[in-house]
């Protein structure tokens, strides 16, 4: 029997407010263990929370970006469960009246611009729990409460996705929107975005969903793809063997590539929700809701389509820019100068620039790179004044110093040699040293020209013009 996979996602995104959601503790990753916590976020008896207004604003902005209905009157609730890193024994969240609901987002699925609308059930605000630390150097576990009270929004989708590829496109879109509107740093390696995955399968052509299973706290999008594919396969194998799927929560182990049973799945009543008695009703002026909507920048899907149409970028390249607002801003500034090809700007930003940033674990804003310098460097390459290899040296210099591209080229002697007479001598010596390659070319193996050009570039220490080298090589061989 053929089956259809049904997928719903719950994305948890940490908000980048200066302080936590219900107290004045600093909201920052990487601080000394248990240094950013107080009696309120550690849940000591007798303490009273105070809602951070910025958290509500950020959630409303995301609600607008996902086409949600915004409830300007709502409340918060206690979600009761025990876990060692939740010292209060409950989490302040939202149950029946979330801040935002009934929305949707369009995701792009291929290079032809095919889109699909994914429903968004709700967006609600809540506090994060602490973090358990497990280490073989000691028995048991330690708890770091710095993360207690860090503000979260939970974005719950409808079960509208039918493949891991659609789920990946949805997650990429959500991440890009969070970064574009500036409410989350989107650092997955720090746990800023995590997702719970709900998967079920049903016979192809059926409209009755199967029993779903949930995998908790998957913290990479590639891991989410693997988890979805594994879980669908696991359920199909059970059904094909005559078994039955039971609703349950599972833990995804990305290293082992499989999931493990944690517990039978809770329903809402298992959490014993009730209204939070220590917090007032949330009331937001409708005029302020509209102000937040008007403040939104161009959203990623619109920008993605514009980059593909106006700059001729492939979807993959455009998406890499769109999901990083800093790179997108620099790309547009450099393209606006109209001194070089937009595709080449994209290639350098998504290639060597991204590589250097990742190696040093920094952001583009931490560098000295300007649109003018980047565009000038690419212009020098396109005009043949420096080679692409020399550009790799230039880009590193203009990333981390105040030097201009022209200054770097002059200081390091990177200008490309285009003088034919100077290059002919190099070609002659290379051909004399590579007689077999010359014979291969004469026998019809014309691809050896690339090898010979490479040898000439090495002999010229990267300063020869490869186009001229190629012409000279072919001309010289034909006269031998």
DSSP-derived secondary structure for 160-191: -B-SHHHHHHHHHHHHHHHHHTTS----GGGT
Residues contacting 425, CB < 8 A, separation 6+: none
Could you tell me the pTM of the whole model? 0.84
Annotated domain spans of the chain: 8-203+267-291, 324-411, 420-478
Between 268 and 399, residue with greater pLDDT: 399
Between 109 and 73, residue with greater pLDDT: 73
State the residue for tokens 């219900």. 22
Which SS3 state, helix, strand or coil, does residue 283 take? strand
Was domain 420-478 assigned CATH 1.10.10.410?
A: yes
Nearest CA-CA partner of 202 in 193, 211, 194: 211
* Token pair recorded at residue 329: 């801003």
Residue 73 pLDDT greater than 80, yes or no? yes
CA distance 395 to 348: 9
Query: In this predicted structure, what is the pLDDT of residue 267?
Result: 66
308 half-sphere exposure, CB direction, 13 A CA radius: 19
CA distance 198 to 250: 10
Residue 34 pLDDT greater than 80, yes or no? yes
Query: In this predicted structure, what is the pLDDT of residue 82?
Result: 86
Query: In this predicted structure, what is the pLDDT of residue 389?
Result: 84
158 and 173 Cβ atoms separated by less than 8 Å: no
CA distance 301 to 367: 28
CA distance 177 to 164: 20
Query: In this predicted structure, what is the pLDDT of residue 461?
Result: 77
Q: What is the DSSP letter of 266?
A: P
Residue 266 pLDDT greater than 70, yes or no? no
Average pLDDT over residues 34-63: 96
CA distance 450 to 433: 15
Out of 96-110, 197-211, 279-293, 464-478, pick the least confident.
Answer: 464-478
Residue 197 pLDDT greater than 90, yes or no? yes
Pairing of strands 69-70, 73-74: unpaired
Average pLDDT over residues 240-254: 93
* Token pair recorded at residue 340: 């070089």
CA distance 450 to 10: 51
Which SS3 state, helix, strand or coil, does residue 93 take? strand
On average, the pLDDT of the chain sits at 93
């Amino acid at each position: 029997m053929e089956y259809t996979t049904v997928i719903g996602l719950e994305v948890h995104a940490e908000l980048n407010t200066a302080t936590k959601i219900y107290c004045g503790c600093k909201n920052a990753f990487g601080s000394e263990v248990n240094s950013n916590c107080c009696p309120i976020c550690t849940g000591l008896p007798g303490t009273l929370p105070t809602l951070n207004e910025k958290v509500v604003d950020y959630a409303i902005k995301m609600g607008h970006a996902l086409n949600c209905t915004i409830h300007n009157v709502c409340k918060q609730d206690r979600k009761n469960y025990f876990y060692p890193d939740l010292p209060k024994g409950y989490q302040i969240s939202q149950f029946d009246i979330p801040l935002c609901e009934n929305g949707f987002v369009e995701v792009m699925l291929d290079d032809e611009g095919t889109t699909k609308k994914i429903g968004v059930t709700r967006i609600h605000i809540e506090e994060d729990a602490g973090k358990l630390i497990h280490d073989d150097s000691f028995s048991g576990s330690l708890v770091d409460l710095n993360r207690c009270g860090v503000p979260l929004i939970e974005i719950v989708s409808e079960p509208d996705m039918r493949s891991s590829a659609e789920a990946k496109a949805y997650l990429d879109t959500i991440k890009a929107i969070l970064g574009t509107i500036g409410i989350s740093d989107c650092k997955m390696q720090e746990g800023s975005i995590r997702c719970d995955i709900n998967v079920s399968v049903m016979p192809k052509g059926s409209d009755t969903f199967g029993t779903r299973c949930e995998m908790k706290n998957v913290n990479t999008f590639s891991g989410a793809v693997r988890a979805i594919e594994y879980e669908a396969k696991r359920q199909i194998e059970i059904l094909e063997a005559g078994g039955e799927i039971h609703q349950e929560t599972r833990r995804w182990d990305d290293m082992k590539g499989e999931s493990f049973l944690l517990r039978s799945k809770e329903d809402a009543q298992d959490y014993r929700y009730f209204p939070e008695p220590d917090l007032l009703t949330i009331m937001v002026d409708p005029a302020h809701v509209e102000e937040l909507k008007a403040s939104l920048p161009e959203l990623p899907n619109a920008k993605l389509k514009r980059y593909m149409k106006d700059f001729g970028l492939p979807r993959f390249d455009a998406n890499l820019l769109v999901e990083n607002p800093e790179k997108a801003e620099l790309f547009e500034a450099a393209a606006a100068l109209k001194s070089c090809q937009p595709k080449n700007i994209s290639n350098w930003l998504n290639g060597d620039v991204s590589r250097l940033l990742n190696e040093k674990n920094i952001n583009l804003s931490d560098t000295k790179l300007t649109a003018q310098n980047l565009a000038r460097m690419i212009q020098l390459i396109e005009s043949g004044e420096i080679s692409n290899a020399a550009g790799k040296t230039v880009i590193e210099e203009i990333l981390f110093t105040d030097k201009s591209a022209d200054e770097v080229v002059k200081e390091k002697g990177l200008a490309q040699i285009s003088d034919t007479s100077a290059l002919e001598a190099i070609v002659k010596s290379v051909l004399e040293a590579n007689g077999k390659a010359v014979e291969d070319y004469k026998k019809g193996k014309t691809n050896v020209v690339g090898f010979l050009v490479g040898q000439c570039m090495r002999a010229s220490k990267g300063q020869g013009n490869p186009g001229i080298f190629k012409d000279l090589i072919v001309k010289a061989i034909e006269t031998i």
